[in-house]
Structure formats: structure tokens, C-alpha cells
Amino acid sequence: MPGALVDFYAKHSRLIDQIGVNALLALSLSVSLQAGQLALAQAAFMGIAAYVSAILAMQAHWPLIATILAAVLVSTVVAALLALPVRRLRGVFLAIATIGFGEIVRVFANNLSITGGAEGLSGIPNDATTPVIYGSLAVVAFVLFALSRTKFALAVTLVREDEHAARGVGVDVGMVRTLSLALGGAIAGLGGALYAHASFFLTPTDFGFARMEQILVWCVIGGVTSPLGAVIGAALLSILPEVIRFLSDWREVTNGVILLLVILFAPGGLSSLWRRGAIRVR
Amino acid sequence: MSLTLDDVGVRYGGVDALRGVSLTLEPGRVLGLIGPNGAGKTTLVNAATGLAPLASGTIALDGERVDGLPSHRIARAGIARTYQNIRLFGALDVRGNLAAGAYARPGRLGTVELLRLLERAGIAGADLDAAASSLPYGDQRRLEIGRALAASPRVIMLDEPAAGMNPSETGRLVATIRAIAADGIAVLLIEHDMTLVRAACDDVVVLNFGEVIARGTPAQVGRDPVVVEAYLGSGAEALS
């Protein structure tokens, strides 16, 4: 690497890693939103996976890849199980139920001894390097791209557009909702495991409601039905605080203003600016 | 491949929306279903497509029971429908809506098949890349028929396909419906336009308060005093 690039990386490596993890988290919510599900439990899936991978690494000394796989498996199963009781919920009711689930997870993490309670865990092996994070992001992007060429993607679009009519053409709406939530859980789990291994500490506040809100804002700004939009939203809002550091006291206000501008002038998110007209089905 | 409803009843709360309805849809024939608003016509289609659970009776597709199956499995068994209030996938283009119709079929529709579907639905000139919601109202209704045909159904249920169409569009719809039946598909047509019913239907069933009050050819039904009293009034002339 040229010297300037090395310096740049050394200076910003933490931010670069954060962008990668945040992009994964945004993608995980995007998967649910694409199926029309305002399911806001991504932070909880992330947290569960983060604790699973951290505990396995610290107490059982599992290697990174094994802890990630175990964490993703657990978060996927939890998401699929959560899909069952919320099967009949839509819109704001689904949002409230899933936020409630997130709070339950946070309260458990706050009170269990294995998670270190409110103080959390410290001393997690710092082995989620930049190549690991971006390699994972590439794998997820490839899987999502491959899925976008299948009939499952068509089913997801149809469920989002009109569940009733989707059933009428033979789509198993319940299955599509469950699978999209489980897939979202898997990606959030991957993001959570990497988050744990890219930080030294892990506390319950790392995946509370504020985190969930942040993930939702990334997706709204990027475009709720566009995976690429979600990634761009996450990247933009991860970088922005660094770029406008002089406005750091006004960070929440700046975020709010950006959100408002996007909702007012590009309600479909930034991705809608380059994708006008009817949705094409491959 | 026929669809048989035997003694079908549907209850909403304490109200009988359908009671003891029996009818058979046969391949190549068009059965008209008429009756006043609230008579249970759409409920019958909802029952046959798994959206309204049966309180009594059975529904069988060529002898195989389909009642009690979830609606997506009924659709896959070969029963397609259109909706009284158009339910196209409005954000998708015309191609996407036809692809949606063919969701349960293996493989993908090629351009030749897509164009053929548009032709069968009577909108041969429609742009495959146009947003479905941008089509004129009558064309949206026809695209819904095209979407239903894309499933290669054995039974198709058309819920007021002429609603909102002008007389010349309605006239052309007759040819579309007869051509669908000529392909060996069993057709159920819910309609208020008696001129269309007479021109398109082989047989007619009349519903009132959830019960069958008459059945026969359009001409026979048009002469039935019970039907004239309950529903047709001056419209009876259109059927005879």
C-alpha cells in the first residue's frame, strides 16, 4: 500500500470497520423491510449474536470463524422463532412487538451474570479485522444478489406490494415473512458477532433501542426497499459525524435534519433518486 | 377439470353470507353469477379461493377437496381470480405483474409468452415496461385478467371485470371471456351488466341474501319472476 493510504487506514481504521459492520446491520433490516415487515428486532439479533460469539471466544476459546458461525446460527433460529408469534402482526403493531422483544433481550443481558450484567463484557479478542469484516460484507452482498435472481425475490416483492394478491398468485406469505425475518436475523447476527470482535467491550446499551433507531434511520435515508440504499445510508451516516465534527454538539439535530430532508424530498430514500419508474422483475 | 361447490355456507359473525350454495364450473363454459349488492357473490369467490372459511359444505377441484387449504395452495391447484377492486401490483411493471401471475409455474415467462398473454387479455398493444398503475383503468382490469391467465389456471373467477368500462370496452370483453372458455378453462363471471352476462355466459346462477334463488340459461333466468322481483327489474329485458 502506498504510504498515504497506510496513513489514512491507520487513522481511520476504526471508522472503516464500523462502516462495514453498520452496512451489515442496515442490510439485515433492509431484508425485512423489502418484504414489507417493519420488524425492529435487528439490534436484539445483533446483541444476541455479539454475546454468543464473545462468550464462546472468551470462555470456550473458540476460534473467530467458529464463534461467528455459532452466533449467526443462534440469531437465525431466534429470528425464525420470533416470526411465529408475530406472524399475524403488521405495520406499527409488528414494530411495537419487535421493539418489545428487543427490550426483553436487553433487560436479560442487563441482569444475567454470563453477559456481565450492566457492565457487560470486556477483553473480547480483537480479531475481526478489516478484511474479515469486508469479506463478510462481500459474502452477504453475493448471497443477496444471488437471491435477487430467484423466485424468492419475486415473492418478497409481491408480499410487500399486496399480501392478499400475493396469496392469490400462489405465494406462501407466512413462509416468505418467516424466511425474510430469519435471513435478516442471520445478517444482523453476523454484524453483531463482528461488532463484538471489533470492539474490546460489549454492554447491553450497545444494542438497545437507540441502536435499532439508528439502523432504521440508515435504511430510511438510503431507501427502505433497496439493499444498496441501506448500505449507502449506513456509510453516509457513519462518516458524517467525522466530516462535520465541528457540529458535534449538534449531532442529533443534524441527523434529524437530514432525515427530514430525505423524507420531504426523496421519500423513497436516496436510492430512489437513481431508480425511478416501475419496479423491474428479473 | 371442474370445480364443484356443494352445499357451501359461509358465516360472518352471526350472519349467513352464503347458505347451502351448490354449483359447478365446467371446462369450456362460462357461468354467470348475478345478484344484488351484498348477495354473497364475492364471498363465494373468496370461499372458493380460501379467503373465507366455510361454515358448511365442500369445494372440490375435479373431485379433490380444496376447501380448508390455504389460499396460496388453492391458487397453485389451478384456481385464479381477479378482484372487484383492482389488486394489481401497482409499483411493478406490466411484465412484473404477468410474472407474478406465473409465480407458481416452473420457469420464467419468455417475451413471446408475455405478449401472448397480453393478447389473450385483450391488451395486445400494452407496453411490457410500463408501470401497471400508469395503465388506463380498463387496461388495468384486463391486465388483472392477464395475470390470472399467466398461472395457466383450470378455473378462473372474474369479479366484475367490466366495472368502470365503457360500452365498447365491455363489448370487446365478451370476446375475451369467450376465448378464455374456448381454451378449456372453467369461467365464473360475476357481473352487473346484464348485456355482458347474456352475451358471455352459458348459464347463470342468481344469488340473493346468500342463497341461490334461480339458475338456468340467461334467457330462462331473465324470465324468472322471482329474479325479476329480487334483482333484475327492468334489467330483465337485457337477458331475454
Residues B184 and B240 in one domain: yes
Residues B169 and B191 in one domain: yes
Domain that holds residue A200: 3-207
- Flag whether A239 is in a domain: no
Interatomic CA distance for residues B193 and B173, integer angstroms: 12
Tens-digit pLDDT profile for residues A173-211: 999 999 999 999 999 999 999 999 999 899 999 999 999
Which residues of B sit within 8 Å Cβ distance of A? 49-51, 70-73, 75-76, 80-81, 83, 87-93, 95-96, 99-101, 103-104, 129-132, 134, 147, 151
Residues B135 and B234 in one domain: no
Residues B192, B217: contact at Cβ < 8 Å? no
Q: Give the β-pairing of B155-159 and B186-190.
A: parallel
The nearest CA of chain B is from the CA of A41 a distance in Å of 27
Residues B51 and B148 in one domain: no
Domain that holds residue B102: 87-152
- Flag whether A270 is in a domain: no
Contact yes or no for A170 and B70 at CB 8 A: no
Instruction: Tell me whether A280 touches chain B (CB under 8 Å).
Output: yes
Minimum CA–CA partner of A162 in chain B: B89
- Flag whether A219 is in a domain: no
* Among B127, B152, B177, residue at a domain's last position: B152
Residues B142 and B240 in one domain: no
Q: Give the β-pairing of B186-190 and A121-122.
A: unpaired
Contact residues, chain B, for A280 at CB < 8 Å: 93, 95-96, 129
Residues B144 and B161 in one domain: no
**Number of independent structural domains in chain A:** 1
Residues B72 and B104 in one domain: no
Residues B135 and B38 in one domain: no
Query: Would you say the C-alpha torsion A126, A42, A72, A152 has a positive or negative sign?
Result: negative
Residues B74 and B167 in one domain: yes
Tens-digit pLDDT profile for residues A131-149: 999 999 999 999 999 999 9
Pick the residue of A169, A224, A272, A279 with the most B CBs within 10 A to test the interface with B by mutation.
A169
Residues B62 and B111 in one domain: no
Which of B72, B88, B131 is nearest residue A167 as measured by Cβ atoms?
A: B72
What is chain A's length? 282
Neighbours of B166 (CB within 10 A): 10
pLDDT per residue of chain B (240 residues) written in tens, 0 to 9: 799 999 999 999 889 999 999 999 999 999 999 999 999 999 999 999 999 999 999 999 999 999 999 999 999 999 999 999 999 998 899 999 999 999 999 888 999 999 999 999 999 989 999 999 999 999 999 999 999 999 999 999 999 999 988 888 999 999 999 999 999 999 999 999 999 999 999 999 999 999 999 999 999 998 888 888 887 775 666 676
Minimum CA–CA partner of A281 in chain B: B96
Helix locations, chain B, DSSP H:
41-48, 71-77, 94-101, 111-121, 137-150, 167-182, 194-200, 218-223, 225-227, 236-239
Residues B20 and B34 in one domain: yes
The residues near B22 (Cβ < 8 Å, ≥ 6 apart) are B4, B5, B6, B7, B8, B57, B212
Average pLDDT of the segment spanning A80-92: 94
Residue A275 pLDDT class (50, 70, 90 cuts): low
Higher pLDDT pick, A236 / B236: A236
Q: What is the ipTM of this complex?
A: 0.91
Residues B161 and B235 in one domain: yes
Average pLDDT of the segment spanning A251-268: 83
* Among B131, B152, B173, residue at a domain's last position: B152
Per-residue confidence (pLDDT) for residue A268, from 0 to 100 = 83
- Flag whether A266 is in a domain: no
Which cell numbers hold the place of A181? 425475518
Per-residue confidence (pLDDT) for residue B75, from 0 to 100 = 97
Per-residue confidence (pLDDT) for residue A277, from 0 to 100 = 59
Per-residue confidence (pLDDT) for residue A6, from 0 to 100 = 87
Q: What is the CATH number of the domain that holds B1?
A: 3.40.50.300
**Number of independent structural domains in chain B:** 2
* Among B100, B122, B152, residue at a domain's last position: B152
Contact residues, chain B, for A165 at CB < 8 Å: 83, 87-89, 100
- Flag whether A277 is in a domain: no
Pick the residue of B71, B73, B94 with the most A CBs within 10 A to test the interface with A by mutation.
B71
